[in-house]
Copies of this chain bind each other. A is one copy, B any other.
Amino acid sequence: MYDLYYWPGIPGRGEFIRLALEDAGADYVDIGRRDGAGAVAWYLDVAHTDAPPFAPPYLEVDGKVRLSHVANILRVIGPELHLAPDNADGQNFAHGLQLTITDFVSEIHDTHHPLGPELYYEEQTTVSKRRAALFRTHRLPKYLGYFEDILASHPQSPWLIGENATTVDLSLFQVMAGLRYAFPTAIEHLDNALGHIQALCAAVSERPGIAAYLESPRRQSFNQQGVFRHYPELDGPIEPDNSDPDL
């Protein structure tokens, strides 16, 4: 029995946890969506728990074990949900890949918040355009090329590690869905170089638990409040950055 604590109203980082729980058909409650943001914020007070998280998402397992950070949560529940490699070496590699996805997601977020979370996007659009252009040209192909190369190195399997799907595959599927929403033009430019990632995403979407989830009201749409946001001025083709060198 799992209790997921994450802000209501956005897929956000909570969605990486939901996908794993839904794929496995796990028994879980999405506390934020059921009880509101106050129920999520309560645990952020160090007075309310001896293991306070810095930020959502966090997960309670059987009302006892409390886990924070997406990668940490998926590391612990992955084996329970049969979404992890069956040996320690594989699990260590999977956790490294999951942490690379964490970094990738953070950089995607920062394209619309390059000055930090204290300002609204509308207060940092000029800097966002510059950061997003550099992200599209350099970071986006670098991260996606890394995952594509790993998949291409073992074409006999559609999954990143071994012969079975893991939480990392579900997370890469979610990142690609978010990128297609946020940066449709940039991703279209890269699509020809991402054949293995596309095959992975198709395979994830056909898994029974995921297919049912994507059709359900539990699956929330991307919007302008989460990690993945579509601002047309931040999207564009992959091309050298020729803007003002100090802005």
Contacts and interface: CB of A to CB of B under 8 A. Distances in A.
Given A68-B96, A114-B114, A125 B54 contact: no
A95 interface: yes
B54 A67 contact: no
Contacts of A119: 134, 245
A46 B66 CA distance: 35
B153 A93 contact: no
A46 B149 CA distance: 7
A234 to B, nearest CB: 13
Q: Report the contact-size class of chain A (Cβ under 8 Å from the partner).
A: 35 or more
A99 interface: yes
Copies in the complex: 2
A130 B130 CA distance: 15
A207 interface: no
Residue from A69, A88, A123, A146 with most neighbouring chain B CB atoms (10 Å): A69
Interface in A71-96: 71-72, 75-76, 88-89, 92-93, 95-96
Given A114-B114, A123-B245, A123-B246, 6 more contacts: A46-B146, A50-B153, A69-B99, A103-B106, A115-B127, A119-B134
28 contacts: A51-B96, A54-B96, A54-B100, A54-B143, A54-B146, A65-B89, A68-B100, A69-B95, A69-B96, A69-B99, A69-B100, A72-B95, A75-B95, A99-B102, A106-B106, A110-B110, A114-B114, A114-B115, A114-B127, A114-B131, A115-B131, A116-B138, A118-B134, A124-B246, A125-B246, A126-B247, A127-B127, A247-B247
Interface of A: 46-47, 50-54, 65-69, 71-72, 75-76, 88-89, 92-93, 95-96, 99-100, 102-103, 106-107, 110, 114-116, 118-119, 123-127, 130-131, 134-135, 138-139, 143, 146, 149-150, 153, 241, 245-247
